[in-house]
Amino acid sequence: MHYYNGKNTIVPLPDGLRFDSNYMSKIKDTLELSRAMEKINTSAKSCILITDRMEPRFQNDADLKILNGYLTSHYNITFDTVFYGHSKSWPLRIRRLEKK
């Protein structure tokens, strides 16, 4: 489902995308996000979070506020940048998270 062949695991949050109903998966609450993050089975102290909702129309979405609040309370964000790939209009946001 993902176009990535590296050794690292890709974990969709809060769950995998389903193209049969709705392609956008939204975080309902902090508990759901916390459970999704706990499912990541790794001994690594950090991870990379890539999101694609940088469009201005998404900035007031409740699930983005939940995500950003959770990240700042549970992780140190040691890297935060945007990347313009094929789309010249809307970038990907890439953050490195280190557990507090």
Q: Cα–Cα distance between 65 and 60 in angstroms, integer?
A: 7
For residue 49, list its beta bridge partners.
95
Helix-helix angle 62-74:30-38, to 10 degrees: 50
Whole-number pLDDT of residue 73: 93
Q: How many domains does the chain have?
A: 1
Q: Is residue 87 part of a domain?
A: yes
Q: Is residue 41 part of a domain?
A: yes
Q: Cα–Cα distance between 25 and 8 in angstroms, integer?
A: 22
Angle at the Cα of 23 (from 18 to 95), degrees rounded to 5? 105
Q: Which two tokens stand for residue 21?
A: 């109903």
Q: Is residue 39 part of a domain?
A: yes
Domain that holds residue 45: 30-99
Task: Write out the chain's pLDDT in tens, 100 residues.
Answer: 456 677 777 777 766 655 555 555 677 788 888 888 887 767 778 888 888 776 666 666 777 788 888 899 999 999 999 888 777 777 888 899 998 8
